[in-house]
Amino acid sequence: MPELDHYGNCPICGISWDGGNIPEESREFYGPPYKWSRVIDIEIQGKYDGVSYWQCPDCKARWDRWTGERVTNGKV
């Protein structure tokens, strides 16, 4: 699976993940494209210190961070 576009649309429900523009006064902390994503980062405590899965905020579909494969078997 190609890398998920966190500013595009969910490949399952089709709803946009583009959260809009980051305010100009806050852009010093971010790089282009100066947008924020609605995608939810999921960290599993005790498994890995960082994001392990990404989740659509609308349909709740999840993807493995490293493989990009959709998680459908209840891993999380």
- Torsion over CA of 53, 58, 60 and 61, rounded to 10 degrees? -70
The total number of structural domains that make up the chain: 1
The answer to whether residue 4 sits within a structural domain is no
Q: Give the pLDDT confidence score for residue 75 in this predicted structure.
A: 57
Q: Residue 46 belongs to what domain range?
A: 18-67
The answer to whether residue 2 sits within a structural domain is no
The answer to whether residue 74 sits within a structural domain is no
Cα separation, 76 vs 20, whole angstroms = 28
Q: Give the pLDDT confidence score for residue 30 in this predicted structure.
A: 87
- Per the DSSP assignment, residues forming a β-bridge with 55 are 40, 62
Check the CA dihedral 55-69-48-35 and report its sign: negative
The answer to whether residue 55 sits within a structural domain is yes
Asked whether the whole model's pTM tops 0.85, one would answer no
pLDDT at 76 exceeding the cut of 90: no
The answer to whether residue 41 sits within a structural domain is yes
pLDDT at 3 exceeding the cut of 90: no
The answer to whether residue 28 sits within a structural domain is yes
Give the confidence band of 38 by pLDDT, cuts at 50, 70, 90: very high
